């Protein structure tokens, strides 16, 4: 059974209702808004992690080794790969363009994951985060959360209005991650695409620019070293 369609008045208005010349409700004006630039191909650095533009020759081999958990390939469009040569060939073909704009996630100088900006539509201020592949060494760590924070931070600083997360609707860990990171669930696109010779329903999530200041404050609080004990465990959870 699919999720019920929300009613027109099921959510509060984000702004005072406006009427056009036909007395029909319309969205708020965007006077003075200009499309943001494309995200730069440059490093993002935090306390626990660095995201750098992918360097296939330097990163492919260590990433192939790091991605050693077979179940982590189930919901990715590509892979698994039989050997480092085939993985490197895929990276050269898929990871060097501007959309997706792929970043390697580095911890202590070692590649431990991939994350991308994709479906970048500057004309409407929309950008998606995707192509996420976190190695076991990165999963459920402050570094993984900080990597997602840094990508959000850059997008909203550049002037994007909408930050999207999409995943296979059956991918429970990805849906849980989106909720934990503060994304709003928007529903299911049924039979949205096909990959790995199977049908996919796609779950949609988003964060919009008006929500970012409070989310940013909570990420900043959670990522503070004071929030972690000597074993690296969080003292209080992320409250998004």
| pLDDT reading at 65 higher than 50 | yes
Which pLDDT band holds residue 127 (cuts at 50, 70, 90)? very high
Segment 69-109, tens digit of pLDDT = 999 999 999 999 999 999 999 999 999 999 999 999 999 99
Counting residues of the chain whose pLDDT is more than 90, the rounded percentage is: 90
In this prediction, residue 194 carries a pLDDT of 98
* SS3 label, residue 54: coil
In this prediction, residue 232 carries a pLDDT of 87
Q: Is the peptide bond between 80 and the residue preceding it cis, with omega within 30 degrees of 0?
A: yes
In this prediction, residue 13 carries a pLDDT of 52
In this prediction, residue 231 carries a pLDDT of 87
In this prediction, residue 3 carries a pLDDT of 53
**Residue (of 211, 209, 121) closest to 161 by Cα position:** 209
Q: Which residue ranges make up each domain of the chain?
A: 38-227
Q: What is the mean pLDDT of the chain?
A: 94
- 19 to 13, 27, 219: CA distances (angstroms): 13, 9, 37
Give the residue-averaged pLDDT of 152-162. Answer: 98
**Residue (of 80, 53, 78, 77) closest to 64 by Cα position:** 80
Counting residues of the chain whose pLDDT is more than 70, the rounded percentage is: 94
Which DSSP category does 52 fall into?
E
Give the residue-averaged pLDDT of 203-211. Answer: 98
In this prediction, residue 49 carries a pLDDT of 98
| pLDDT reading at 211 higher than 60 | yes
Q: Specify the fold of 38-227.
A: Aminopeptidase (3.40.630)
Segment 2-39, tens digit of pLDDT = 455 545 444 555 557 889 899 999 999 999 999 999 99
Give the residue-averaged pLDDT of 106-113. Answer: 98
* SS3 label, residue 232: coil
């Amino acid at each position: 059974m699919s999720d019920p369609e929300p009613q027109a008045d099921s959510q509060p208005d984000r702004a005072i209702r406006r009427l056009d010349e036909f007395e029909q409700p319309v969205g708020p004006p965007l006077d003075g808004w200009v499309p943001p630039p494309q995200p730069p191909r440059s490093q993002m650095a935090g306390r626990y992690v660095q995201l750098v533009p992918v360097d296939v020759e330097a990163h492919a081999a260590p990433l192939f080794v790091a991605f050693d958990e077979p179940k982590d390939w189930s919901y990715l469009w590509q892979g698994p790969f039989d050997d480092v040569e085939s993985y490197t060939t895929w990276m050269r073909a898929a990871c060097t363009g501007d959309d997706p704009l792929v970043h390697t996630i580095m911890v202590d100088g070692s590649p431990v994951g991939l994350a991308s900006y994709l479906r970048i539509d500057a004309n409407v201020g929309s950008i998606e985060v995707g192509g996420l592949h976190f190695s076991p060494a990165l999963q459920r760590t402050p570094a993984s959360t900080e990597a997602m924070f840094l990508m959000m931070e850059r997008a909203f600083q550049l002037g994007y209005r909408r930050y999207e997360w999409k995943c296979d609707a059956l991918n429970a860990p990805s849906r849980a991650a989106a909720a934990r990171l503060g994304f709003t669930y928007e529903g299911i696109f049924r039979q949205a695409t096909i990959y790995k010779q199977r049908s996919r329903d796609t779950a949609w999530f988003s964060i919009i620019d008006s929500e970012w200041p409070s989310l940013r404050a909570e990420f900043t609080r959670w990522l503070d070293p004071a929030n972690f004990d000597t074993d690296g465990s969080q003292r209080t959870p992320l409250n998004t």
